[in-house]
Amino acid sequence: MRIKHTIFFLLVCFSSLTIHAQNTDLADTFQLEEIVVAGTRMPVTGVVAAPSVNIASEEINLHMGHSLMDALSHTEGVQAMDIGVGFSKPMIRGLGFQRVVVSENGVKQEGQQWGADHGLEIDAFHVDGVMVVKGPASVLYGSDAMGGAIEILPPVIPYEDTLSGEVLFQHQSVCSGMSGSAMLAIKRKKVYSQIRYTERHWGDYRVPADSFTYLSMRLPINDRRLKNTAGKERSANGLLAFRHKKYEGRLNISDNYQKSGFFSGAHGIPNNSNMLSDGDKWNIDLPYSLVNHFKVSSTNKWTTEKTQTMFVLGFQQNHREEWSKFHTHTVGQQPPAVDPDKELMLDLRTISGKMQFRLTSSDEWEHYIGVSASFQKNEIGGYGFLIPSYRRGEYGAYYLVNYKPSDVWAFNASARYDISHIHTEAHGNDVGEVVRDFNDYSLAIGAVYTPKDGHEWRGSIGRAYRLPSANELTSNGVHHGAFRHELGDSSLVGEQGWQADLSYSLRRERVELSLSPFFSYYPHFISLHPTGQWSTLPDAGQIYKYVDAPATFFGGETRLKVKLVRDLFYQFSGEYVRTYDYESHTATPFSPPATMRNTISWERKRWQAYAECQSVATQRRVCHNEDETPGYNLLNVGGKVEIKISSRKLSLHVNARNLLNTYHLNHLNFYRKIELPEAGVDIQSTIRFTF
C-alpha cells in the first residue's frame, strides 16, 4: 500500500532534516524572519474587495461533524452537498460540483472531474484554518473557481526553536466511529519539519427510520442501521520547510486512503433479501469503493522589501475503484477474466505549476502578475463505463492590482485569460472521440469604504467563466450511487457569468452585524437536468443530461451577534439563494433551501457552551422531475473545556447533532431520491492533547 511507503519516507526526511538543522548556523535576523512568516500566512486572495471569510481552527474543531464540510457549512453561504453517508463536497451560494476550488498548499485539489459523487480526500484534523472566498474567484484560482474557493491555510512556522505535537482521539455515536491522529513538529534554526498520521474507522450509520422508498417499493431498514455503510480512512501528511535570508521553501507530501461501503439500497436495484442485516456493523462488503489520493507540492518564495517571487509545483494521483458483483451494463456483456467484480477504475494524474510576482511599489500600490499551467491524464478500467480516458491541458495568465489611497478607501482590479485543450478517446459505449479547444477571460473590480470605526462597505462586480469538464462533455453511463444514467454533450461551450456583490459590516463592543447580498447572471450555465426519460441500460434509472441554458442566481447572507450579558451571547445567521433557469422556467437542479440558525452561547476564557436551533425551509422551487423537500428544525448542542498545564493543553469537545433524533431529508443529498433520511442523533467527543 502506497501510504506505508509514504509514512516511511516522511519519517526518514523528518529525521534527516532535524539532524541537518542542528548543524546549520542561523544567519537570519529576527526582523527578516518576521517579514517572511507574515507573508506566508496571508494568502494571495486577501485582496481588498474579495467577499471572503476566515474560519479559525477553533471554530472548525467546535463544529466538526462527519467531515470537514460539516464544519464549514456553519458559515453563511456555504453548503455541504452530501454524496452518501459520511462524505460531502462544498457548495457556495448554490454553486457546486466543478465550480468550487479547494486549494491546499497553493495547489488545487483534483478529482472532481469524474463526476458529482466524489468527496474531498483531505485529512480534516490536519486543517489549521480555512478561508472561504464567496463568488467568482476565477482570476486567482483558474476556471473551476467560478462559484468560489475554499483555501486551506498553511501552518504558521514558529519564530523560535521548539518541539511541539498533538495527539487526539474522537468518538462518533451515530456510527460507532473511532478516530485517532498524532502530529509531531520540530523547528530547529532554519528548518521546520512536521508529520501527522490519522486513522478513522466507522460502522454502519444509524438513521431515525425503519424503511425507505425505491421506485414506489417500500423496503426495510433493519435495526435502523444502513447496511454496508462502514468504512475506514488513513492519512499521512508531511511538511519540510527551510528559510534562509530572503528565501523560504516548503515541501508538502500527503497520502489519503479510503475504503467505504455503498448502502445496499443505493447501488443497483435493492430487494428484501439484500437488505437483511449481516449481523456485523463493521463489515465492508460488495459494493464498495477504494480511493487513494497522493499529492506532492513544492512552494518557493523569494522576498525583498518591495518584491516577492513565488513558484509552486504540484503532482497528484487520484485513484478510484468501485467494486460490485458483476451485472451487465450492455446486452450480451460477459464478466472480465481478471477482477470480474471491478465495476469502475479511474486514475487521474495531474501536474500543475504556477509562478507569481508581487511588487509593492509604494504604500498605496500592490501588483500581482502570474502564470499557471496544468496537465492531466485520466485512464479508466472495469466492466462499467462512465467517462472515457482523456488528456487535458490548461494554461492561464493573470494580473491583479490593489490601490489604497487612504485609510478610508481601497480599490482593486484583476483580469485573467485561459486556454484549454481536451482530447477524449473513443469508447464502445456509443462515445466517440472528442477534441475541443476552449479560451475565455475573467475580470473583476472592487472597492472598500471604511467611513469610521466599526463600519465597512465592500462592493465588487466581475465576469467569470468555467471550461467544461470531461464528464460534462462525454459521460454516458450508469451512476449507481446517484440513481441515474448521466449523459454528456460534446457540443457544450464554456460557462460564462457576471456577478455583483455588496456587503456591509458593523463591529461594536456588544454588537456585530454583517449583510451580504449578491446577484449573478449566466448567459451560459451547464447543469445536470433530469429528463424524465428512463434509460435502456440495466439498473440505470432516469436519464440526467448536461444542458446549457441561461440562468440567474440571487440571494444573500446575514449574521448578527449580540452580547446579552457577561459571557452570554446570541447569534443569528441566515442564507438564501434563488435560482432560475430560463429554458425550463424552473429552478436549476440542486438548489439549496433557505437556512437560518439561532444560537445561544456562553464563552468564558477556556470554557464554551452553545445551543443551536437550525431551521431549514421547505424547498418547493425545484427543477422538472426533481422532488420537493419538506423543511425541518434541528437542535444541536455542544461545548468545550481547555486545561492548561505550563506549555501543554488538554481540551475536550463534545457536540450533539440532531439531539432530538429528528427525521429529516437533505435536499442536497444524493440519497434524497430514495427518501433516505439524514443520520440520527450523533454525540461526538474529542479529546486533544497539545504540547
**Beta bridge pairs of residue 415:** 399, 443
Query: Mean pLDDT, to the nearest integer, of 585-604?
Result: 93
Alpha-carbon distance values, 279 to 84, 204, 318, 334 (Å):
22, 11, 33, 33
For the record, the C-alpha cell of 54 comes out as 476566515
Query: From CA 350, how far away is CA 373, in angstroms rounded?
Result: 10
Alpha-carbon distance values, 553 to 81, 93, 100, 389, 458 (Å):
18, 8, 15, 34, 20
The secondary structure element, H or E, covering residue 208 is: none
Please give the share of the chain, as a percent, with pLDDT higher than 90. Answer: 50
Name the average pLDDT for the chain.
Answer: 85
pLDDT given at position 216: 75
* b/e sequence 201-237, b meaning 16+ C-beta within 10 Å: bbbbbbbbbeebebeeeebebeebbbbbbbbebbbbb
**Beta bridge pairs of residue 342:** 323
pLDDT at 51 over 80: no
Helices marked H in 537-579: none
10 Å Cβ neighbour count for 350?
A: 22
Closest CA to 329 of 371, 386, 253, 277: 386
Closest CA to 614 of 631, 590, 591, 592: 631
For the record, the C-alpha cell of 22 comes out as 542542528
Write the pLDDT tens digit of every residue in 134-168. Answer: 877 778 888 788 888 888 888 888 888 999 999 99
10 Å Cβ neighbour count for 466?
A: 30
Residue 564: exposure state from Cβ atoms within 10 A (0-12, 13-18, ≥19) = exposed
Alpha-carbon distance values, 36 to 305, 419, 551, 660 (Å):
10, 33, 44, 49
Please give the DSSP secondary-structure letter assigned to residue 86: S
Do residues 256 and 121 lie in contact, with contact meaning Cβ atoms separated by under 8 Å?
Answer: yes
Helices marked H in 366-462: none
Domain holding 131, by residue range, is: 2-690
Residues 6+ apart with CB under 8 A from 179: 125, 168, 169, 170, 171, 172, 198, 199, 200, 201
Among 13-17, 44-48, 109-113, 686-690, name the one with the lowest average pLDDT: 13-17
In degrees, to the nearest 5, what angle opens at C-alpha 261 toward C-alphas 349 and 321? Answer: 25
pLDDT given at position 334: 84
pLDDT given at position 23: 38
Question: pTM for the full model?
Answer: 0.87
Domain count, the chain: 1
Residues 6+ apart with CB under 8 A from 623: 527, 529, 530, 581, 584, 586, 587, 588, 589, 591
Do residues 676 and 654 lie in contact, with contact meaning Cβ atoms separated by under 8 Å?
Answer: no
Write the pLDDT tens digit of every residue in 527-578. Answer: 888 887 877 776 667 788 899 999 999 999 999 999 999 899 999 999 999 9
Do residues 558 and 516 lie in contact, with contact meaning Cβ atoms separated by under 8 Å?
Answer: yes
The secondary structure element, H or E, covering residue 688 is: strand 682-690
pLDDT given at position 12: 42
Q: Residue 164's domain is classified under what CATH number? A: 2.40.170.20
pLDDT given at position 213: 80
